[in-house]
Structure 1
Amino acid sequence: MPQFLKSKLVIVVNALLGGVIITLISMVVSFLITLFEGGEDGVRYAFFKSIFFKSESTAGGATELSFGFTKHFLPIIEYFLVMTVILLVFQMICRLLFVRRERLLKDESE
């Protein structure tokens, strides 16, 4: 595989992995914030209403908890795609600046 394609592939894979990691971290943080805010029973939604958390108090004083995904996966996909594009553009700009810097240093040494 040519070096040019290899470097582009590395940039794309890094952006995809970064998008997944940022999306998962954002979902977890959003869920934890929703989990610990407010003390009322009921259903609360997090991360653009794609995750739910339901708490119910029983007659015995125990609290039943349930959580999961709603049927709205589009916000998760959109967030992942936006983060991936941002990371991809950022990495491409950094790569272009690195190449320009190397070219300027090479021209300066001649």
Structure 2
Amino acid sequence: MNMSPPSPFSAGQAPTQVAFDRREMAVILGLYGRMVAAGEWRDYGISMLSDMAVFSVFRRTAEHPLYRIEKRPRLRNRQGMYAVVGMDGQVLKRGQDLTSVLRVLERKLIRVVRPD
């Protein structure tokens, strides 16, 4: 009789981890690319945890994130599963639609141009 330890992945079960899908990543990376081109952001990190996925953006690599874009599926039926969180932990915007939640960050691209 062979007594092998149980596998961490049971038959038919996927690992319990929240992640951004391809469409969500396209929206987030589109914004990220525009902010990099504007010189606002320089680096990012992605965390996939058991209860949420986080896309963190940095001005420099070795500092705290400027913003965190969070996906929490458990909040889908309450205040919305997407949230943008600032450096100080304040929730800047929360909602059901990722594109509309990210608009709070796109306002940073709009600058007043003054003639010389």
- Give me the TM-score of the superposition, normalised by structure 2: 0.25
Structure number having the greater helix percentage: 1
Asked which structure has the greater CA Rg, the reply is: 1
More strand by share: 2
TM-score by length of 1: 0.26
Higher relative contact order (CA 8 A, sep 6+): 1
